[in-house]
Every structure is written in structure tokens, then in C-alpha cells.
Structure 1
Amino acid sequence: MIAHSVEDPLYYLHNFRQVLQWVEQRYADLLDDQELAFLQAFVALEQSAQALMVRMVMRKGELFRSDRLDYAEIGDTVRALQPLQALGWVREPEQLSLDQLFALLRKDELAHGFAGQLSRPRAAKSDLFAQLQGLALAPRPLAQWFEQAPVGILQWCLQPLCDRMRLLFFGNLYQDWSDFVLADLGVLRFEQVPFSPGSRALQQRSEVDLAMALHHCTERLEQGEAPAAILDALAQWRSDNPWLARRHGRLLFALGRHCERLGDWDLALTVYGRSNHAQARIRQVRVLERCERWAQAHELAVQLAAAPANALEVQALQRMLPRLARKLGGPAQPRRRTTAPQLIELELPRELAELGVEEAVRQHLAQAGAEVHYVENTLLNSLFGLLCWDAIFAPVPGAFFHPFQAAPQDLHDADFQLRRAALFDACLGRLDDGTHRQAILDCFATKHGLQSPFVFWSMLDQALLEQALACLPPAHLKQCFLRLLQDIRNNRAGMPDLIQFWPEQGSYRMIEVKGPGDRLQDNQLRWLEFCAEHHLPVAVCHVRWGGPA
């Protein structure tokens, strides 16, 4: 399956054809009669009709001015429209509302058409709408709005069907057709994940319908509909499909945040209680605290602290519990003391500031004879991605939908590691038996350039890789990789800026760099605490600029 270059004026049509072929091959048993008939009829259309249809699919909305359907590569639009109209896929809209007219027509067209009903026909378009809105004009066919319509209006009727095709291809509906026709698709290379019937996220037609229903609820939330109404719709939701359950949990979490913004604390608590999102539990404590239900908040926080779900929860609870204890009138609760990292204080020449504080420190430390690299989050993530490539790209159900995915769709889900536990155990086991070095080098050679959610090819070269594998103890790598797997979304960032290697001694040190006025962020603090707990060498370097201002 090859994406076509955008240098071909019909690139969008070629790619759309491939999407339909992919969906038919992979999901034919889940398609209904209308969708199967659409696939057969589309193939039979002339190229110009296919291209015009795809143009409408890719544009926003379902209503179009006929004079705006003008594309050089298609040619005669009137002729291309005829088979689409004959199939009933495109038609004149049965009725149009005043809002729709104002979205489609120009000010001069509206002023002329409504001349007898406007007290100020030369006013701004928004004012024209306000004048007509007061007349409570009901929707009607275009011919009944105007004696002579200024332009033809056409309606594309199969957008819901094409949305289902898009869902089955992308595995979501936040990506649109333009994401498939990015010019980069002709350059980027992707891992070829095997697609079997068992790896599909959706196995029944009812699950397709549920996925669409979840999407519609998301749209309702984005449009500002009352949270209670959306929650009522979600109450009808029933499925044991894990892929759908994760999306349901994310939607509930978004709904809970919206309730918080509205100050509807009780509904927010109800929504979070139903969500399996990784942060739903800590948000419940936040809500109870915000509405000053101190005892309930403290009780729940104590329960969570007994079995925290992740490091982010631990950090949040360490701050919340002393605060809640004070609210309840108890004695001051000292925060848990953490081991302070090694501190480096540097005064560097002010002229180095233009390099950036990290590069300035890198150059300074390199003068002492060590190999120093500015890696931030890239090196450890890349080593993890190379060692665990097979686990990351395993054809787990619901992880991969199409051949152009750089990452599994469940990468940030709480059960990402659990669903691949045996594979990750095997990969990380190489750090115990010493085979990790060759496995990483082999993967670097055979997979070089393929898209990955972890490997930063642009910064990773053979020399840095060899140096890292010579100086980083496998036990330290294993601890870092296990931490990544605990919470990929939050733990893949916040790693120290620099890494310092002493190849002759086979040792290293990580360094977090802070310029004047800069402070450690929460995710950086969590990484520093982790390093201290597991005896990984790390330092924090504070820089001030010397010399004239």
C-alpha cells in the first residue's frame, strides 16, 4: 500500500481509493449493505466523478455552492456531478435554514435577495442576519427563499458513511482525510506490522456503531452541550471491548474536567468515578478539596496513598495529604524528605548565553576530558525503543489500524505494558543476560529510519550508541525502562538535559541544567527522585552568567 505524491494532481483520489480497498479487505464482514453497495458503485464511477466526490468528502460541511466546485484536474464539474446525482449521493437540499444561507451566500447576494425585508440593506453581514433573525423565518427549499437563486446549492449526502470508513481506517475520527495525503507519506517509512483478523479492534458491527456513538458524544461535549445530557447518553453504553472501554474512559475524563470548569462538583465526582482514566482518581480528590469537603478528600487520599497507581499520583498525594491534614485541624505534617541530587554551580562567560544554557554547559564540561552530549529525553527513549521494538510494534488487537502508523494507538493507555507483558519481559530480560547490546545494535541497523514513538534517529548515531552501551550499566537501563512503562505519557519527558560519559572508566553522569531564574518542573523532580532512589548518578547544574551585562 503506497501513498501517492502530492505532485500528482489526483493524489487525493488515489489515496482515497486505497483507503476503501484497505477497509473492504480488512472489515468486509462488518460493513452493512449500504456501505458494500457504496464500495461497488464508487469503483464503477468515471474518474472525474470519483475525484469530485472525494473533493466534497475532504471539504468541511455537507453543503456546497455549485460555483465553488471548480477543479482544474477534474474539468467539467457539471458532467462529473451527473452520476453522483443519479446515485442520490449529491442532491439539492430539501430545505435550508437562515443560518445555512448566511454561511453559503455572500453579503451582496443576501442583500439583493432579501431587499424587501431589510430595513438597512447596506449594513454588515452580521447585522443583516440580526434583522432577518427577528422575523423567525422557517427553513425552506432554496427556490422558496428567492425568486431567482443567486447560485446553485448542492448537498453531499454520504458523509456519515464516509466517516465510518475513516473510523475503520484511522481507528479514530480526530484525524481527517488530509492526514492520509501528507506529502511526508512519500518519504517517511513505517514498520510493517502484520494485520490479522484477530488484531482488529472492532470485531462486530455493533462495536462500529458504539465507536461512532462515542464520537458523537465527544462532538456534543466540544459544542458545549450540558454534561448531564451527555452522561445520560453514555449511561446506555454497554461493551466489553477493551479498545472501546479505553475511549469511553477518556471521554468520561474529559467530561469530568468540563464539569469542574462549570463548578458542578457532584456531577464531576460521579463522572470521574465511572472513568478508568489514569488521572481520574486523583481528580476526585481535587474536586472534593475544591468544594471544601475536607474529610472526604482526606479519606480518599489516604486510600489512594495505600496503593498509588503511578508516580504522578504519588507526587500529587505527597502535596495534598499534609494540606488536607491541616484543613482538618491536625498537626503539621512534614513532607517526605527526598535525597538532594549533587549540585553543580557554574559561572560562565555571558557571551556563551547565545548558545543556550545547555550547550554552554556541555561545552564547558567537555573541556574536562569527558564526552558530553545534549540528549534531554532522546537517548533513554531511543535505547528503550530499540531494545523493545518487537513489543512496541506487536499486532495487539486495537493497536494498529493501517500501514502508516508511527505508534500503536494504545501507547498512552494504562494497560499498554500489561497487554504485551510477555514480550516486554523477554526484551528487558536481555538486560539481565547481557544480550541487550547486540540486540540494540542489530535493531539500529535493520530498522534505521523507520518511524517510532521512541527512537530519535536524527540525534542517534553509531558513536553515541556505542558510547552509551559501554558506559550505561544494564541494571540502570532496566530501572529506567521499567519506569517508562509505568506511565509512558508522563515519564517519557523530564529526563536530564545532558549525559556525561567517561569511556575509559565505563561510567557516566546525567545533568539537569538550569539557567538563571529557571526552576525544576514536576516531571523533572520525579526523575531526579527516581535517580536518587535507584542510585543513578545525576546532578543539577545551576548556571549564572559572569562578565558585563
Structure 2
Amino acid sequence: MARAVLDDPFYYLANFTFVLDWLSARYDDVLRPDERAFIQDFAHWPTPSQALFVRMAMRKGDHFRLEKLAYEEIGDSRAALAPLLASPWVTDAAPLDIRALARLLSKDDVAALARRAGLPVKAKALMVEALAVHYEGIEQPIHAWHVLDDEVISLTCTALLERFRLMFFGNLRQTWSEFVLAELGINQFEPVELSGSARPFQQAEDIDLYMALSALRDRLEEGEAPRDLLADVPALPENNAWLEARRDRLLYALGRQAERGRDTETARVAFKHSGALDARMRRIRLLEKSHPEDAWALCEAALKAIESEAEAQQLARVRPRLARKLGYAPVEAIAAPTVSWITLSLAKTSQVELGVAEALATPTAPVHYVENALFTTLFGLLCWEAIFAPVPGAFFHPFHRGPADLYRPGFVARRAQVFERALARLEDGTYRTHILETLKAKAGRQSPFVVWGLSRDILEQALDCIPAAHLRALFTRLLKDLKANRAGFPDLIQFDLERQSYRLIEVKGPGDRLQDNQKRWLGEFERHAMPVVACQVVWDDACEATS
């Protein structure tokens, strides 16, 4: 199953055929009858017909004017259409509502419709809205609208193509453009050996459930009430951690939207049934306002099975407050991390971090604005082999930016030996060479951790100035919770090139305060005696007045 190259005028057809062959090889036991029928029909169409279908499938929307379906490599589009129109997958008689019709029309065409309906001529979008009200509920083929002297060709299998895309990528974020971007070299991917049976879904029902969850997310984003959507959230079969995580995130999103809409009851129910990391704390905060006893009981249960550092931090804030409200014995609050503060007066600027970097830098002690990029990049380069280890269920197509199980429980455990080999380089002194060699060998390849915009000079300064023991401590904490701990690093880092030392600098502009994830990292720096300061910026009114 060789993929196409862009020199081939039918490159897009070769790529689509690659996908169908891929799905046939891996999903033979899962394909539905209509999916099998499409694959068989497609294989029997002449090349021009196949190419025209794929051209339409790759474009936005379901409806296309025939005169716009003109492609040099295909030739006569009308002739290429004949086998397609004889199939159930394409039609020239699809009913169109006014919105679908308007997407095919020019402003003048829409204005003609408006005048016919007795509506004023305005901007196209305004006319479409007025026409949608005027023709509400009306759907009819193009010829019945008497507005366009052209045929309209429509796909009738968009949902089927979406399922194919989901089966191939394992998500609906990625599109067929991945093929072209990879061929152009815009996106480069780490080659990982894939087994012939590698696939994200094990049964047709998994695909159905994923599509149902995705449709509910779309309805939420379109403004449908969380209360109405909650009843439609499907139950899941046991032992499907991947779909369960998606359902948990959907329920969490429903709860957050219900909170914003002051629908507290819906929010409580959604959070109760969501296993998302912050759902329990959201529920506790809701109960704190109206049912403090229930909130306390939930806090006590949470203490026995804390899910994350973030939850422990939030519980330590909520419990003393609840104890006071309920008249219970005082609960001691945890001490905030110790951090040294410096104050810097600057002329007012929109890039406060860059202003601080410029003010503190010296010729032998440069300051770089790196925020969350530096340490994750060093980690990603050192642990590249572990991150892209061909673990079953981690990779199932050629376009992975990272393993599919990256943020799922057990990710590190399944690769424990490979990660430990990588971290051992920090003990034996080979880490610097390994990181720089990986930087060169993997340049530009997609990675969930490496930020390629960081210069080699910054990385070399970091490797020269940051002790290996500090990197080991940072990477060990990263591995405890890759999703949460990849953020919260200080904004700036200063390297003393003469002494080969460093310090981290967290910048806070006027009115800013330390965030929870920053406090957690500051606590880690304190435990390992890592040099860090927080810089409070105040605006220099005199500089502003004279500027």
C-alpha cells in the first residue's frame, strides 16, 4: 500500500485508495454492509470517476456546482459523473434548503431570490438570514429554485466518509490534508513500525459510540442546553478506557457549561458521572455553596484516594474553609512554597516578560523567554525513543504526532524500561551528546513535547548550565503526570555562562498572581534547591509620561 507523491496528478486518488486498502486490511471484521458496498463500488469505477469523487470528498460541503468540477487531469467531468450518479453515493437531485443553496450562489443570485420573495437587498449574509425565515422548512432540488442555470452534484455518503476518517486516524481532528502536508514536508512524522492489525477500534459499536459522543460535543458547541444533552450521553461497555475518557471529558464540558448558565443541578449531575480529573473538585465547590456537609463528606472521600497533585492542592484550600463554615475542628492549611521576590520597575509594555528579560540580561548572563518550552523540549529529546516506542495500541497510522495513549493511565508503566534507560543518561553523563544528536537527527518531526522553534544555542546553554541532577528531578516529576506537569514552568531562564549556573524567573505583571500549577512547580524547585525567583513588575509612571 504505497502512498502517492505530489508529482502524480492523481496523488489524491492514490492517497484515498491507500486509505481504503488500509481499512480493508485492518477492519474486515468491523466494516458495516454499506461500508463494504462503497469500497467495492469505488474499486469498479473508472479512474476519472474515482478521481472526481475524491475531489468532491476532499472539498468542503456536500453540494457542488457542476461547472466548478473542472480538473485538467480528469477531463470531461460530465462523463466521469455517469458511474457516480448510477450509484447510491452521489446524486444530482438532492433537496436543498436556503442555506445550502446560498453557499452555491453569488451575492447577485441571492439578491435575485430576495427580490422574488419581496425582501430588501442587503449584505449577502443578512439576505440569507431573511430568506431562511421566509422559506423555513422548504427543501427542493436546484431546478425548483429557478435561480441557477447549472446542475448541482451532491454527495450522499458524508457520514460514511467521516467514519472512514475516524477509523483511519482514530480521531476527527485530523483530515485528509495530512497526506499532502506530509508530502510537502510541512508536517514530518516519526516512522514507527505498525503491525498489520494495528487499529484504534476493536468493534463497530466503538465507532458508533465515538461518533455519538462527538455529535453531542458539536451540539454543545452550537449552543444546545446542557440539561437537554445530558440525557443523551450514552452508556459505555466496560473495559474501554479510551471511550470512557472521551465520555468523561464530554460530561465535564457539559458541567462547566451548565455552571456558566447557572444550572447548578445539571452541573452537579454531570460532574458526578464524569471521571475527568477536575470533576470531583468542581462538584465539591458547587456543594460547598448549598450543601456544605455533602461537600465535606466528598472531601474526606477524596483524601483517601487523591487523583492528582492539583486535587491535593485544592483540597488543602477548601477543607479549612469548610471546617470553619461547619464549626468543625480547625484544619491546618498547607504552607505556600517559599519563593524569593524581586521588584522591577519598567516602562509599560504589552510584552512584560520580554521587558524583564531585557532588563536583567548581561553580556555573560543572557535571559531567554522559554516558559513551558525548554524543559519539555529537553525531556522530549532525551526520551524520544521511549515516547515513540512501538507499544501495542499506541500507533496505528503514519501521521501520529505522538502515541495515542500518551495521557492515559499506564503510559509510563508500559514503557518503564525505555524511560529508565533514557534517564540513566543523566547519571552516566551521555545525556548532553544524546540530546544534541537527537535534535539533529529528528529535526522538524512532530512531537508532543519538542518545540522546534527553540534555538540550538539555548539548548546548549541549558545543557552547560543546568545540573544533570536538576534535570532528573524535573523529568521525574513530568513523568508522574505528563498532561498536568508540562505547564507551569517559570517564564524566563537566565544562564550565567562564566559560572555555568542558572536561575529561573517567574514574571508577574501588575495585578497578576501565581497560578496553582506554578505554585506546584515552585514547591518542586524548593524541595530540590533549584534557583528560582519571582519578579513583580510595577509600571514606571515617569517613563510612561515621557514616552
TM-score range, shorter chain: 0.7 to 0.9
Given the alignment of the two structures, is residue 469 of structure 1 paired with residue 467 of structure 2, yes or no?
Answer: no
Q: Which moved more, 1:515-524 or 1:185-194?
A: 515-524
The correspondence for 1:127, drawn from 114, 125, 130, is 130
One-letter amino acid of the structure 1 residue matched with residue 478 of structure 2: L
Cα distance, 1:61–1:161 mapped onto 2, change above 3 Å: same
Query: How many Å separate the matches in 2 of 1:141 and 1:470?
Result: 70
Cα distance, 1:355–1:245 mapped onto 2, change above 3 Å: closer
Query: How many Å separate the matches in 2 of 1:188 and 1:103?
Result: 31
How far off is 1:388 after superposition?
Answer: 1.4
In structure 1, what is the equivalent of residue 244 of structure 2? 245
- 1:504-515 correspondence runs (5 A): 505-515=499-509
Query: How many Å separate the matches in 2 of 1:269 and 1:183?
Result: 44
Secondary structure (helix, strand or coil) at the match of 1:407 reads coil
Contact map agreement 2:115 2:121 (CA 8 A) in 1: no
How far off is 1:167 after superposition?
Answer: 0.7
Q: Which moved more, 1:244-253 or 1:410-419?
A: 410-419
Secondary structure (helix, strand or coil) at the match of 2:505 reads strand
Q: Which moved more, 1:470-479 or 1:217-226?
A: 217-226
One-letter amino acid of the structure 2 residue matched with residue 382 of structure 1: T
Secondary structure (helix, strand or coil) at the match of 1:186 reads coil
Contact map agreement 1:65 1:153 (CA 8 A) in 2: yes
Query: How many Å separate the matches in 2 of 1:119 and 1:439?
Result: 73
Secondary structure (helix, strand or coil) at the match of 1:42 reads helix
Query: How many Å separate the matches in 1 of 2:514 and 2:265?
Result: 35
Query: How many Å separate the matches in 2 of 1:541 and 1:129?
Result: 56
When normalised by structure 1's length, the TM-score is 0.83
Given the alignment of the two structures, is residue 61 of structure 1 paired with residue 66 of structure 2, yes or no?
Answer: no
The correspondence for 1:501, drawn from 495, 499, 518, is 495
Given the alignment of the two structures, is residue 388 of structure 1 paired with residue 383 of structure 2, yes or no?
Answer: yes
Given the alignment of the two structures, is residue 523 of structure 1 paired with residue 517 of structure 2, yes or no?
Answer: yes
One-letter amino acid of the structure 1 residue matched with residue 529 of structure 2: H
How far off is 1:172 after superposition?
Answer: 0.8
One-letter amino acid of the structure 1 residue matched with residue 443 of structure 2: H
In structure 2, what is the equivalent of residue 35 of structure 1? 35
Given the alignment of the two structures, is residue 489 of structure 1 paired with residue 483 of structure 2, yes or no?
Answer: yes
In structure 1, what is the equivalent of residue 334 of structure 2? 336
Residue deviations 1:319-375 (CA, integer Å, cap 9, x gap): 333333344355876642223212233456x5xx77954445445544374454433
In structure 2, what is the equivalent of residue 455 of structure 1? 450
In structure 2, what is the equivalent of residue 345 of structure 1? 343
Cα distance, 1:210–1:517 mapped onto 2, change above 3 Å: closer
Query: How many Å separate the matches in 2 of 1:466 and 1:129?
Result: 61
One-letter amino acid of the structure 1 residue matched with residue 270 of structure 2: V
In structure 1, what is the equivalent of residue 362 of structure 2? 367
How far off is 1:195 after superposition?
Answer: 0.9
In structure 2, what is the equivalent of residue 208 of structure 1? 207
One-letter amino acid of the structure 2 residue matched with residue 455 of structure 1: V
How far off is 1:171 after superposition?
Answer: 1.2
One-letter amino acid of the structure 2 residue matched with residue 321 of structure 1: R
In structure 2, what is the equivalent of residue 539 of structure 1? 533
- 1:90-239 correspondence runs (5 A): 90-93=90-93, 95-96=95-96, 100=100, 118=117, 124-133=127-136, 139=139, 145=144, 150-182=149-181, 185-197=184-196, 199-225=198-224, 227=226, 230-239=229-238
Query: How many Å separate the matches in 1 of 2:268 and 2:174?
Result: 31
How far off is 1:76 after superposition?
Answer: 2.7
One-letter amino acid of the structure 1 residue matched with residue 445 of structure 2: L
Cα distance, 1:26–1:170 mapped onto 2, change above 3 Å: same
How far off is 1:402 after superposition?
Answer: 2.1
Contact map agreement 1:227 1:255 (CA 8 A) in 2: yes
Query: How many Å separate the matches in 2 of 1:148 and 1:383?
Result: 61
Percent sequence identity over aligned pairs:
45
Query: How many Å separate the matches in 2 of 1:28 and 1:526?
Result: 48
Residue deviations 1:64-121 (CA, integer Å, cap 9, x gap): 34344344554432122112112332113464556655665668767878999x5658
Query: How many Å separate the matches in 1 of 2:436 and 2:172?
Result: 38
In structure 1, what is the equivalent of residue 373 of structure 2? 378
Given the alignment of the two structures, is residue 300 of structure 1 paired with residue 295 of structure 2, yes or no?
Answer: no
Query: How many Å separate the matches in 2 of 1:265 and 1:356?
Result: 39
Secondary structure (helix, strand or coil) at the match of 2:475 reads helix
Given the alignment of the two structures, is residue 260 of structure 1 paired with residue 259 of structure 2, yes or no?
Answer: yes
Cα distance, 1:326–1:414 mapped onto 2, change above 3 Å: farther
Contact map agreement 1:95 1:141 (CA 8 A) in 2: yes
Alpha-carbon RMSD: 3.7
Query: How many Å separate the matches in 2 of 1:436 and 1:540?
Result: 29
Q: Which moved more, 1:315-324 or 1:162-171?
A: 315-324
Secondary structure (helix, strand or coil) at the match of 1:395 reads coil
Contact map agreement 1:109 1:150 (CA 8 A) in 2: no
User: Could you list the runs of 5+ residues in structure 2 that have no partner in the other structure?
Assistant: none
In structure 2, what is the equivalent of residue 446 of structure 1? 441
Cα distance, 1:50–1:505 mapped onto 2, change above 3 Å: same
Cα distance, 1:189–1:67 mapped onto 2, change above 3 Å: closer
Query: How many Å separate the matches in 2 of 1:107 and 1:467?
Result: 58
Residue deviations 1:249-280 (CA, integer Å, cap 9, x gap): 22222233233334443333333233222222
Q: How many residues align?
A: 538
Cα distance, 1:105–1:264 mapped onto 2, change above 3 Å: same
Cα distance, 1:307–1:439 mapped onto 2, change above 3 Å: farther
Cα distance, 1:52–1:299 mapped onto 2, change above 3 Å: same
One-letter amino acid of the structure 1 residue matched with residue 220 of structure 2: L
Contact map agreement 2:26 2:197 (CA 8 A) in 1: no
The correspondence for 2:473, drawn from 476, 479, 485, is 479
The correspondence for 1:404, drawn from 395, 399, 402, is 399
One-letter amino acid of the structure 2 residue matched with residue 494 of structure 1: G
Query: How many Å separate the matches in 1 of 2:37 and 2:327?
Result: 70
Secondary structure (helix, strand or coil) at the match of 1:278 reads coil
Contact map agreement 2:191 2:398 (CA 8 A) in 1: yes
Cα distance, 1:346–1:26 mapped onto 2, change above 3 Å: same
Residue deviations 1:268-293 (CA, integer Å, cap 9, x gap): 33332332222222222133235x22
Cα distance, 1:63–1:365 mapped onto 2, change above 3 Å: closer
The correspondence for 1:420, drawn from 402, 408, 415, is 415
Cα distance, 1:475–1:86 mapped onto 2, change above 3 Å: same
Contact map agreement 1:199 1:396 (CA 8 A) in 2: no
Contact map agreement 2:85 2:92 (CA 8 A) in 1: no
Query: How many Å separate the matches in 2 of 1:10 and 1:339?
Result: 61
Secondary structure (helix, strand or coil) at the match of 2:342 reads strand
Secondary structure (helix, strand or coil) at the match of 2:518 reads helix
Given the alignment of the two structures, is residue 282 of structure 1 paired with residue 285 of structure 2, yes or no?
Answer: no
Q: Which moved more, 1:336-345 or 1:90-99?
A: 90-99
Contact map agreement 1:496 1:510 (CA 8 A) in 2: yes
Cα distance, 1:74–1:322 mapped onto 2, change above 3 Å: farther
Residue deviations 1:166-225 (CA, integer Å, cap 9, x gap): 012221113333454347842442211111146432233333333333333333433444
Q: Which moved more, 1:316-325 or 1:426-435?
A: 426-435
Cα distance, 1:125–1:243 mapped onto 2, change above 3 Å: closer
Query: How many Å separate the matches in 1 of 2:381 and 2:341?
Result: 32
How far off is 1:16 after superposition?
Answer: 2.9
In structure 1, what is the equivalent of residue 314 of structure 2? 316
Contact map agreement 1:272 1:283 (CA 8 A) in 2: yes
Contact map agreement 1:201 1:243 (CA 8 A) in 2: no
In structure 2, what is the equivalent of residue 23 of structure 1? 23
Contact map agreement 1:370 1:502 (CA 8 A) in 2: yes
One-letter amino acid of the structure 2 residue matched with residue 444 of structure 1: L
Secondary structure (helix, strand or coil) at the match of 2:402 reads coil
One-letter amino acid of the structure 1 residue matched with residue 439 of structure 2: F
How far off is 1:474 after superposition?
Answer: 3.0
